[in-house]
Amino acid sequence: MRKLSQSMTGTNIVAMAVAAAGLTSTAHANENNDTSETAAVHESASESTAVAVQMSADAPVEVMDDTTSRRDFLPSGGRLLLTGGVSTIEGAGGGGLVPWALIGGYGTRDQVGVSAYATGVDTKDFTLASYGAAFNIANRVELSVARQNFNLREVGNALNLGNRYTISQTILGAKVRLFGDAILEQDSLLPQVAVGVQYKINDDEGVVEGALGLEREGVDIYASATKLILSKSLLLNATVRLTKANQFGILGFGGLGGQNQDYEAQFEGSVAYLLSRKFAVGGEYRTKSNRLEGALGGTSFREEDAWDIFAAYTLNRNVSLTVAYARLGQIALRRQDGAYASIQIGF
């Protein structure tokens, strides 16, 4: 068991994510209307299709599944691929680390959508597993729930907590788009702006509450501005977050001994470049507060800014995959960087 945990690498996380993708993409294969760029011609007796067949004699046309029935049952999936972003490790729609003003999923102003995700981040000493779901209403409101399991692996042993000691927290999130449409308003520099809250409930009574004596609950409040500059194939996002969280809340809220309980503003930014309508690359940066430095003397428990470089690929409207190199900064004793892999499903 101990050996197993030691060999838990980024590759394993990717493999797990891909395995999960296989299960879900099979389940939704029949609903998928996003087939390849070139495909065979439909054969049908209906008049409009007959026209299509005739007109496509010298141009390949792909098969389109009929989405009408799906529309009637649960209208969803109208917006362009990638324009909902992916799921952050805190459950909100955005990049991997930074929430965006975009409402997650592909629902238009007339639609609702649901999505779920699983993410693994594997650093030198720790493994962060995050999973959750979101409900999106009318491209206006995003409600999310996320669960984070932060596995201390060998560090757990070193701290006499036992091997694979895990700190967990639940994050309830809500985001509301205030104004702007990052995608449609291409003749204006006005971004899409949203505000959100994240209510974080850390379960850990042993370390966070016991050993460190920290608050286990906290609320983050953030505002995000996102703009797609389509003529440059560029997406930009800036977020400001008011928070008391240490290491995203995994190490509780506020400083040691009841000190440092004020909200601090943190700044987060994302840049993504669209390489095709299904593939984007980019980077993110997120500042974090540093309230626990010296908890074990010296520079122990120093907290540093986090960043990542990512590649996101959406197979279709139902499945997206993200891989990244993530650097979370120092956590506990050492700087933590490593592989990030995420799968998102939605409809």
The binding site for other proteins (CB under 8 A) comprises 33, 37-38, 42, 47-49, 51-53, 55-56, 58-64, 66-68, 71, 75, 77-81, 108-111, 139, 183-189, 227, 229-234, 236, 238, 267, 269, 271, 274-277, 285, 287, 305
Residue whose CB is less far from other proteins, 29 or 50: 50
Phi, psi of 218 (to 5 degrees): -160, 160
Identity of the residue, 9 or 276, whose beta carbon is nearer to other proteins in the bound complex = 276
- Measured CA to CA, the distance from residue 131 to residue 152 in angstroms comes to 18
Cα distances (Å, whole numbers) of residue 103 to 117, 121, 187, 262, 306: 15, 24, 21, 29, 23
How far separated are the first and last CA of the chain, in Å rounded? 37
C-beta of 227: minimal distance to other proteins in Å? 8
Could you give the angle at the alpha carbon of 262 between the alpha carbons of 261 and 268, nearest 5°? Answer: 120
Pick between residue 97 and residue 118 the one whose CB is nearest to other proteins: 97
Q: In Å, how far are 114, 116, 265 from 307, measured between CA atoms?
A: 28, 23, 17
Strand, helix or coil for residue 275: coil
| Shortest distance, position 95 Cβ to other proteins, whole Å | 13
Least Å from the CB of residue 63 to other proteins:
8
The dihedral built from the CA positions of residue 9, 13, 14 and 19, taken in this order, carries a sign that is: positive
Return the number of other C-beta atoms located less than 10 Å from residue 320's C-beta: 25
| 65: amino acid identity, one letter | D
Please report how close the Cβ of residue 81 comes to other proteins at its closest, in angstroms.
8
Give me the residue label for tokens 């952050």. 88
Q: Which is nearer to other proteins, 139 or 166 (by Cβ)? A: 139
- To other proteins, the closest distance from the beta carbon of 153 in angstroms equals 30
Identity of the residue, 232 or 334, whose beta carbon is nearer to other proteins in the bound complex: 232
What is the C-alpha to C-alpha distance for residues 142 and 128, in angstroms, rounded to an integer? 24
- Alpha-carbon span 330 to 156, nearest angstrom: 16
> In the complex, what is the shortest distance from the CB of residue 38 to other proteins, in angstroms, rounded to a whole number?
6
Tell me phi and psi for residue 233, to 5 degrees: 55, 35
Residue with Cβ nearer other proteins (33 or 163): 33
CB of 85 to other proteins, least distance (A): 16
**Smaller CB separation from other proteins, 2 or 277:** 277
